[in-house]
Structure 1
Amino acid sequence: MEQWYGKYNRLLFKLAYQLTGSASDAEDVLQDVFLKIYDVPPEQVEHPKAYLCKMVTNRCKDLQKSAMKKREIYYGEWLPEPFLSSGDEQSIEQVVKDDLLSYAMLVLLERLSPSERAVFVLREALGFEYHEVGELIDKSEQNCRKLLSRARTKMGIAPDEPIHSEEASHKWVANFMGALKKGDLNQIKSMLAQDVVLVSDGGGKVTASYLPVETRELVAQLLLGRLRQASMVKGNARIEIVQVNGVPALIFGSAEGVHSVAMIHVEGGKAQKLHVVRNPDKLQRFRAFPVFGVS
């Protein structure tokens, strides 16, 4: 069992996280799966990789069904949990952080049914062959091809288009952070696409825009307004760059800790989408971030 865990935990965590959009749920899934398989005699498992992946996929599909019901009454926009590396070389975060789908892709996955999402992640993100995908989700190879085609259409991805979306480089994010710190409205606007969209997730627990905010004028004003408000209310407001889902992102906080994480999707050198997670339940991994509270 320890050998299987050491060999497949990276793959299984990637699978569970990308199926659920939650690192916390992914960890719970892995724990449940390995507890259930503990009493299974190893000689009865001919192909442990496929066996474990099937167990994880089925458990995640159960979670997705219950999650979809909860999101029907979720306050405002729902966004996936950002994934921050802990810096611990032995942690699951450090193992998988460079191999995840981009955050923008995780958001698009929310448009899919559980079966479509499973096929997309298994085939496009993890590289399983169609016949393997079919065996894992108990569907024919032909059906899996149709599910993948339908998933790509829902996500707005052409049949031959690469799945990796363009994300902001560290230099771009640093320049954007500099403009925010200076309060330079014109520079901020120059880095945003005219039709930029900002989506924020407060979960009804903290202040966040209930609906997406559109146009660069409104997005720029909102960002500066929130930053100034945080400076006045909390004091010692700060912005830093961290790696989230393998790409540079911004975290906003104060001496009280991190209160927002912003992932930026860039096209043609301009920010096209900003996803801002403010729900404290989704920022558990950022609570111990060491930067804030230091002058």
Structure 2
Amino acid sequence: MAGDEELARRFEERRGRLRAVAYRMLGSLGEAEDAVQETWLRLSRTGADGIDDLSAWLTTVVSRICLDMLRSRAARREDPYGHEVPQRPDDRAGAAPEEEALLADAVGVALLVVLDTLSPLERVAFVLHDLFAVPFDRVAAVLDRSQPAAKKLASRARHKVRGVPGAPEPDLARQRAVVEAFLAAARGGDLAALLDVLAPDVVRRADPAVLPPGVPAELRGARAVARGTVALRGRARFAAPALVDGRVGAVVAPHGRLLCVLRIGVRDGRVRSYEVIAAPERLRRLRLAVLDTPTGPGRAEDRA
């Protein structure tokens, strides 16, 4: 009994890290908790005898479980795009939405959205190496691939996560400042602030599926667009800046699940146009990336 208690204590000391790894791999708090629990069950069945590095062993096991879950999700062909209530069918009903929202904000809403566009192997390789500094020999073992193949998967994922900016860095910084001011005004329902950041002849277009009944798909003029934006301010709290087709836009993703994308046109320090894209087939064609390169404890020389 004392041995069982000691094993449980050692596992609990590592539970937080295991959950952090699983959440970034799966993007779902309920699924992450399930993966961690399955990891404990496997440890309790095998015991710690013969395990030289328990932390490394647990990380490997939870990663393989997550990889299997990602592959199962892909096999079911779940479409993560454009759902009004973006919830996976295997999410546990008991998962606290407040906790998941805080966790999504801490990880980064845009990063979770972009991670969802990676293949299972790319996602696991990127999360393990770039976010948690797991050496490539262990990443390769998790993926059942050679080290060169694991490095290639992580590199491919990294390029997708970073994206290809369509403007020089100073231009992107200016775009981002305008987009962030627009999102802040939208979240606060601040009509005056919206009128300040919107160009007088601004145009807003939206996929009808994302609009309430009777709301026109196109609005023209700063006052009409500002009112329309205020009317939908509930969704703005889930919005985060992101790179959309190489320009600064935003993703709207409750708990990290993509609902729609804002493709925003900025000129002369104001929003000249924005389009709300929610149709799944249109979302799939967008190139989404994070604005801030995710950082982890991995060494830069390992990221080639």
From the superposition, tell whether residues 226 and 187 of structure 1 become closer, same or farther in structure 2 (CA, over 3 Å): closer
CA contact (8 A) 2:104 2:255 kept: no
In the other structure, the counterpart of 1:5 is: 11
1:146 is displaced (CA, Å) by: 0.9
**Rounded Cα–Cα distance in structure 1 between residues aligned with 2:141 and 2:9:** 24
**Per-residue CA distance 1:264-291 (angstroms, 9 max, x = gap):** 1168xx96213143999x9xxxxxxxxx
In the other structure, the counterpart of 2:231 is: 228
**Per-residue CA distance 1:56-81 (angstroms, 9 max, x = gap):** 11111121122224454567359689
**Per-residue CA distance 1:87-123 (angstroms, 9 max, x = gap):** xxxxx998x788x542211211122111111110001
Q: Does 2:264 correspond to 1:264?
A: no
Matches within 5 A, 1:88-237: 101-157=107-163, 175-177=184-186, 180-182=189-191, 185-187=194-196, 189=198, 208=210, 224-225=227-228, 227-228=230-231
**Rounded Cα–Cα distance in structure 1 between residues aligned with 2:67 and 2:230:** 39
From the superposition, tell whether residues 28 and 274 of structure 1 become closer, same or farther in structure 2 (CA, over 3 Å): same
Q: Aligned AA for 1:277?
A: P
Structure 2 residue corresponding to 1:34, chosen from 40, 44, 53: 40
From the superposition, tell whether residues 227 and 279 of structure 1 become closer, same or farther in structure 2 (CA, over 3 Å): farther
**Per-residue CA distance 1:121-153 (angstroms, 9 max, x = gap):** 001111122223223333222111111122123
In the other structure, the counterpart of 1:274 is: 251
Structure 1 unmatched ranges of 5 or more? 87-91, 159-165, 200-206, 230-238, 240-251, 253-258, 283-295
Structure 2 unmatched ranges of 5 or more? 1-6, 89-94, 165-172, 212-216, 260-304
- Equivalent pairs counted in the alignment come to 223
From the superposition, tell whether residues 21 and 178 of structure 1 become closer, same or farther in structure 2 (CA, over 3 Å): closer
From the superposition, tell whether residues 107 and 46 of structure 1 become closer, same or farther in structure 2 (CA, over 3 Å): same
Point out the more displaced range, 64-73 or 135-144.
64-73
In the other structure, the counterpart of 2:276 is: none
**Comparing both chains, which one has the higher relative contact order based on Cα–Cα distances under 8 Å and sequence gaps of 6 or more?**
2
**Per-residue CA distance 1:24-75 (angstroms, 9 max, x = gap):** 1101111122122212221132221121112111111121122224454567
CA contact (8 A) 1:120 1:148 kept: yes
**Rounded Cα–Cα distance in structure 1 between residues aligned with 2:205 and 2:96:** 22
> For the pair shown, which has the larger CA radius of gyration, 1 or 2?
2
CA contact (8 A) 1:197 1:215 kept: yes
1:263 is displaced (CA, Å) by: 2.9
CA contact (8 A) 1:197 1:274 kept: no
CA contact (8 A) 2:183 2:239 kept: no
The alignment's TM-score, normalised by the length of structure 2, stands at 0.56
From the superposition, tell whether residues 198 and 272 of structure 1 become closer, same or farther in structure 2 (CA, over 3 Å): farther
CA contact (8 A) 1:122 1:133 kept: yes
**Rounded Cα–Cα distance in structure 2 between residues aligned with 1:197 and 1:12:** 42
**Rounded Cα–Cα distance in structure 1 between residues aligned with 2:126 and 2:219:** 32
1:6 is displaced (CA, Å) by: 2.7
**Rounded Cα–Cα distance in structure 2 between residues aligned with 1:10 and 1:217:** 49
**Rounded Cα–Cα distance in structure 1 between residues aligned with 2:183 and 2:81:** 32
Q: Aligned AA for 1:28?
A: D
RMSD: 4.8
CA contact (8 A) 2:140 2:147 kept: yes
**Rounded Cα–Cα distance in structure 1 between residues aligned with 2:131 and 2:15:** 16
CA contact (8 A) 1:53 1:136 kept: no
Task: Flag as ranges the 4+ runs of structure 1 deviating above 6 A.
Answer: 78-85, 194-199, 214-218, 220-223
**Per-residue CA distance 1:165-185 (angstroms, 9 max, x = gap):** x999xx958942576243754
Quote the sequence identity (%).
21
